[in-house]
Structure 1
């Protein structure tokens, strides 16, 4: 940890209280939070009040998750004076996706494996650290690594939703453990990467695991005791088992007729792994739901039925979990599309009257505006230039008009958007000043094809039902088209007119979430390994700093000691990018900025290393094809589609690493780096075939990477 001024303080101590200041002009901040401020229902209903405006008390700041701050001490007129005040090296090369919290001058942050640290928000002095000691095996058992998108705060408690399913409360002043509740059976293929939310004393949390064959659900717990309050299943279970006896029973009566075959044998899916928001006036919790399990509709439901409530927004009663309404974005889900992307509420002037709306830009490339009281679809338009899934949303029925050939057959074809998402989990923001919604968008196709036969289910491995290596020549041609069309950009979207206001293009996809402020600022980490700040009204770049990392998380802003700070986690999450090329970063860091800060510098980037020449390919095409299929089911979520990008680009292994490949993959000799062994699901021959596929891919791409 580095700080500006003074010495690092090691002793545990409480928050530093600051004196309130008046907002005298547009260039001034709002008042500093008072010593009596506490995160509770009253505070969350008045997040912009003087006592609360300098805090960031929940994942999206407010319950509707607009990620807009009224602070304006830092503004477009002086942001050029921004400097690094302090940072903490998180000592990991893994992606860090968490949004920090800030309450009364104390910053709370979550790193990988759910390790939570409290800092003095002004100096960076560590106040306490709580390590829930999540087992290293969860780096493999979870879909996408040991990440956490955030924590929650409520009445002097910090709430942690651990990767292994534990819901944990610790004391916000001391970090001492208060209570723990296990939210799922750890023998099942669930995990938690999303941030918990606390809505009026109820902790609401979902889980991941749809790719691995689970039945998704969301549950609520008492924030003071951890006692369960209600549970809502997202898809039906085995009809022979009868009702679950849970809050979702009435909803399952609606969902069950939309499923066919023995869908329950591989879970059904629907896991709500991230987005949940709350409207206290309507007393509704909104749940964004996930993809099907297996991905292929043909295998999951005999190619029939809408499969409720996959890829939907479902509204439930906050007190009971009782179903109220739903809107399904992707009926007949066949593409690993999720609707777990960020949602937000706002009041918009539409058609001559003010409408209470909920908005979302999910994976499928359409931006949706719904009435949040009833679920009525108000509008939906595509925000990407290419959409091979659907041509439009039929406003009479609310259903997508599918493009010819959109459903998966056994012949490989391009889907764009794809599982890589037109917009993924990365936070979006809304500015009431501009009326615009901001989010990172991308156009990344992928090759889809259904397997000839339903694959055998393997526990804790992606059971997609896809074919991975058939028709290799066609696949090669399609991949060239995909690579040529790849793009990423920061998008400013007008939700009333459903049109693009402006965009900031990037060389490739991969830039992070966004924060909007009353200072006409829009803050985003970029794939160019910088933190950038743009004018929220027109996208002008106002400030940028090279940081040798990609902050994929969302930034926050807060007050401490009368000064406004901007904080962000910078840790590249390894999202596959086809045209990224050789890419290295420094260790992940928590970075904190303020006006006039100087004297704090980041370590210099490591020198670039030449790519090693891969071994010559001597295997048969059949061996390569088998390795491709095994890689697709076991490796591509972390290491990239078609072995491009990801946490570690395996095309460019050194000779030393290649010599240990089977030991790494099967016996977990790099477990301390997060690469656990797969000997429970892969054989020696399986690992060798995967290595053969990686050698083939390296030879295909070596010359294009700039080598003779």
Structure 2
């Protein structure tokens, strides 16, 4: 067995513990049924607005908000925590790193059970952005989990026992799951990630009761010689050139999906092309459907209904997988059913969700890749220089591959008419590699870029200048006017998802480790609490017996902290991975460990040649940078290699890279990809960066 559930029952047998948990969930100690206001689905409601009608906590009394309880995750290391907790009838289900699940009493925080799918440490190398998980789904007494290594697992909500599990992946390609499943008409729908690793995107639906697969649809076409799975794939194939299927094509649906029961449409956000370079992927030609698109399909069959492509021929990692919100609003004098999204590419879109008609698209951050969108079709007027793989010259792009807004969920308050979400302003240098020399790596990072040349410069003064250009904000966006109503500037461009409430509040965690409440109308800062780690996860709120609670998962990490440490120098590095819950009058403790002392800094002797260091830099940025950081700088909890004693001993360093001695903790074994000389070259480059660090002090 590679998965297990542990029931916390004071030594009781599992059956007795299950009976006790079921009893506690259904009645109080006084023998009556409590009143519950649940957060039972990922986005709270059908439109995934993340707006709660609870209004007990207001600007007038928020000063009395205090800690009700906290619960720590048991993690192998401090990793990113991105999950939306679900709360159903007094029980919270929260996910942490490595796809672990905690079931907690939502009033006291008492552990009821925990489940570990035992994702192997070797799986960490198969994902770009950390071993994170964004949450579970609940349906008829079961919890549904997508594990990082590609399984869909049904758990008994009362005990955590496995009911069924299926492997959702196909072929020998490195698919991962980080997104939350969705429940649609008795089916569990799940996508996956891995576009940069050479996979072909698809979405699958499984029977909630049995785990039997109901359907699977692909988001990009496969080899035409093998036939097309659907008319939609035949249509899409006409927008591709060359032999794209050899590289996978990308288009992974790794996060957002939302269902409209009235229209009976399931909307799927589709990711970037893979490799990034369109010249490698599709001979520099075509729109490459359905990358960077929103797909509308029938939930019972997966049948194609319509699509809207935001970035034709994407080659900037501008996914359309970001949170989608469904709302009914007045548009140009008449009611419209709309879908709203602020994807990575920097534009806030409003679409008619019945037809896919483009209604508006306005930049919410500075944009350099396009001159704007066609007002009728929404098609971008792409700047020629932005086609870096075809132009053959570097391109300074904004937004960066991290996006003007990434996966962190938004919130829409119909009363204010505003959408609240975090933004990021980060420049990024796209530099094409030699397309003719491209070699597909089935277990590596395939972008078609020259990874070493697109990495950050090492000159500390230049790095400071670039870091000064990077910033974030909490934005309140008016989707009708297409403009900011207000914004709260932040020094760091990677901040948490958002919750808004009928109490006139907006809650958000940030990179500095604060959990903050703002006034929904004007963004005034009303309350804050230091949490001991940067926060990226979105908060939730629920009520038990008339008492409103607000919870947030805490744990700094994800793509930007791992690989772009220079931009996040002011972020609070993780000291905890936990869930913290607040209530009015709460007086609980919130212990925060002291920061670990920095390792001593000293120069390390090295007689490596410049050529060897240069080779090590190139290899490092192919194999190591996604976890240990661009130019060996990260802020995501992963060890700082510049301070590691392993770099002083060639044998020890090789044991980590080529023998897998730390693979159970998530350090990949590169023994099949790196020979002894290449491993030593990487070590000499890390030593060079360690000496740079020592010199900077």
Q: In the superposition, relative to structure 1, how do residues 403 and 619 fare at CA in structure 2: closer, same or farther (>3 Å)?
A: farther
Instruction: Work out which of the residue numbers 567, 578, 581 in structure 1 matches 2:566.
Output: 578
Counterpart check, 1:361 vs 2:342: yes
SS at match of 1:594: strand
Partner of 1:527: 511
1:672, distance to aligned residue in structure 2 (A) = 3.9
Quote the Cα distance in structure 1 between the aligned partners of 2:655 and 2:204: 39
1:496, distance to aligned residue in structure 2 (A) = 0.7
Moved more, 59-68 or 265-274: 59-68
Partner of 1:417: 399
Q: In the superposition, relative to structure 1, how do residues 34 and 199 fare at CA in structure 2: closer, same or farther (>3 Å)?
A: farther
Moved more, 534-543 or 636-645: 636-645
SS at match of 1:456: coil
Quote the Cα distance in structure 2 between the aligned partners of 1:478 and 1:252: 46
SS at match of 1:124: coil
Contact 2:643–2:690 (CA under 8 A) maintained in structure 1 = no
Partner of 1:593: 582
1:243, distance to aligned residue in structure 2 (A) = 2.3
Question: Per-residue displacement from partner, 1:654-679 (whole Å, max 9, x unpaired)?
Answer: 33554333322222322343213221
Gaps of 5+ in 2: 1-7
1:331, distance to aligned residue in structure 2 (A) = 0.5
Contact 2:195–2:274 (CA under 8 A) maintained in structure 1 = yes
Partner of 1:437: 419
Quote the Cα distance in structure 2 between the aligned partners of 1:267 and 1:100: 33
Counterpart check, 1:212 vs 2:212: no
Instruction: Work out which of the residue numbers 669, 673, 685 in structure 2 matches 1:693.
Output: 685
Partner of 1:166: 151
Partner of 2:661: 669
Counterpart check, 1:653 vs 2:643: yes
Contact 1:556–1:568 (CA under 8 A) maintained in structure 2 = yes
Contact 2:38–2:542 (CA under 8 A) maintained in structure 1 = yes
Trace 1:376-415 onto structure 2 (pairs within 5 A): 376-384=357-365, 386-409=366-389, 410-415=392-397
Trace 1:673-684 onto structure 2 (pairs within 5 A): 673-684=665-676
Quote the Cα distance in structure 2 between the aligned partners of 1:433 and 1:396: 29
Counterpart check, 1:300 vs 2:284: no
1:690, distance to aligned residue in structure 2 (A) = 2.5
Moved more, 532-541 or 408-417: 408-417
Counterpart check, 1:560 vs 2:560: no
Moved more, 457-466 or 262-271: 457-466
1:559, distance to aligned residue in structure 2 (A) = 1.3
Q: In the superposition, relative to structure 1, how do residues 478 and 326 fare at CA in structure 2: closer, same or farther (>3 Å)?
A: farther
Contact 2:265–2:298 (CA under 8 A) maintained in structure 1 = yes
1:489, distance to aligned residue in structure 2 (A) = 1.1
Quote the Cα distance in structure 2 between the aligned partners of 1:61 and 1:192: 21
Contact 2:104–2:113 (CA under 8 A) maintained in structure 1 = yes
Partner of 2:591: 602
Instruction: Work out which of the residue numbers 462, 465, 479 in structure 2 matches 1:495.
Output: 479
1:479, distance to aligned residue in structure 2 (A) = 5.7
SS at match of 1:137: helix
Contact 1:611–1:652 (CA under 8 A) maintained in structure 2 = no
1:504, distance to aligned residue in structure 2 (A) = 1.1
Contact 1:299–1:454 (CA under 8 A) maintained in structure 2 = no
Contact 1:105–1:561 (CA under 8 A) maintained in structure 2 = no
Question: Per-residue displacement from partner, 1:303-327 (whole Å, max 9, x unpaired)?
Answer: 0000000000010011111000001
Quote the Cα distance in structure 1 between the aligned partners of 2:232 and 2:369: 28
Root mean square deviation, CA, Å: 2.4
Partner of 2:237: 256
TM-score, with structure 2 as normaliser:
0.91
SS at match of 2:225: helix
Quote the Cα distance in structure 2 between the aligned partners of 1:473 and 1:197: 38
Counterpart check, 1:551 vs 2:541: no
Moved more, 255-264 or 414-423: 414-423
Moved more, 147-156 or 8-17: 8-17
Counterpart check, 1:100 vs 2:85: yes
Partner of 2:70: 87
Instruction: Work out which of the residue numbers 64, 79, 92 in structure 1 matches 2:47.
Output: 64
Partner of 1:643: 632
1:694, distance to aligned residue in structure 2 (A) = 2.9
SS at match of 1:356: strand
1:473, distance to aligned residue in structure 2 (A) = 11
Q: In the superposition, relative to structure 1, how do residues 206 and 104 fare at CA in structure 2: closer, same or farther (>3 Å)?
A: same
Q: In the superposition, relative to structure 1, how do residues 418 and 702 fare at CA in structure 2: closer, same or farther (>3 Å)?
A: farther
Contact 1:138–1:145 (CA under 8 A) maintained in structure 2 = no
Quote the Cα distance in structure 2 between the aligned partners of 1:217 and 1:65: 22
Counterpart check, 1:516 vs 2:500: yes
SS at match of 1:484: helix
Quote the Cα distance in structure 2 between the aligned partners of 1:571 and 1:658: 31
1:470, distance to aligned residue in structure 2 (A) = 4.7
Contact 2:177–2:254 (CA under 8 A) maintained in structure 1 = yes
1:584, distance to aligned residue in structure 2 (A) = 3.2
1:602, distance to aligned residue in structure 2 (A) = 1.3
Instruction: Work out which of the residue numbers 629, 632, 645 in structure 1 matches 2:618.
Output: 629
SS at match of 2:686: helix
Trace 1:10-89 onto structure 2 (pairs within 5 A): 12=17, 13-14=21-22, 15-17=24-26, 54-89=37-72
Partner of 2:3: none
Quote the Cα distance in structure 2 between the aligned partners of 1:689 and 1:494: 52
Contact 1:451–1:466 (CA under 8 A) maintained in structure 2 = yes
Quote the Cα distance in structure 1 between the aligned partners of 2:588 and 2:174: 47
Instruction: Work out which of the residue numbers 447, 452, 456 in structure 1 matches 2:439.
Output: 456
Quote the Cα distance in structure 2 between the aligned partners of 1:646 and 1:419: 18
Quote the Cα distance in structure 2 between the aligned partners of 1:473 and 1:142: 22
1:415, distance to aligned residue in structure 2 (A) = 1.4
Quote the Cα distance in structure 2 between the aligned partners of 1:426 and 1:365: 14
Contact 2:201–2:218 (CA under 8 A) maintained in structure 1 = yes
Moved more, 173-182 or 536-545: 173-182
Instruction: Work out which of the residue numbers 121, 126, 141 in structure 1 matches 2:111.
Output: 126
Partner of 2:468: 484
Counterpart check, 1:114 vs 2:99: yes
Instruction: Work out which of the residue numbers 216, 238, 242 in structure 1 matches 2:223.
Output: 238
Quote the Cα distance in structure 2 between the aligned partners of 1:242 and 1:572: 45
TM-score, with structure 1 as normaliser:
0.89
SS at match of 1:192: coil
1:262, distance to aligned residue in structure 2 (A) = 0.5
Greater helix share, structure number? 2
Contact 1:84–1:591 (CA under 8 A) maintained in structure 2 = yes
1:170, distance to aligned residue in structure 2 (A) = 1.2
Partner of 1:46: none
Q: In the superposition, relative to structure 1, how do residues 571 and 475 fare at CA in structure 2: closer, same or farther (>3 Å)?
A: closer
Question: Per-residue displacement from partner, 1:165-218 (whole Å, max 9, x unpaired)?
Answer: 211111111222211122113632111111101012111100011110000000
1:462, distance to aligned residue in structure 2 (A) = 0.8
1:474, distance to aligned residue in structure 2 (A) = 8.4
Instruction: Work out which of the residue numbers 346, 364, 389 in structure 1 matches 2:327.
Output: 346
Question: Per-residue displacement from partner, 1:471-510 (whole Å, max 9, x unpaired)?
Answer: 9998969866533311111111111111011111112112
Instruction: Work out which of the residue numbers 141, 155, 165 in structure 1 matches 2:140.
Output: 155
Partner of 1:136: 121
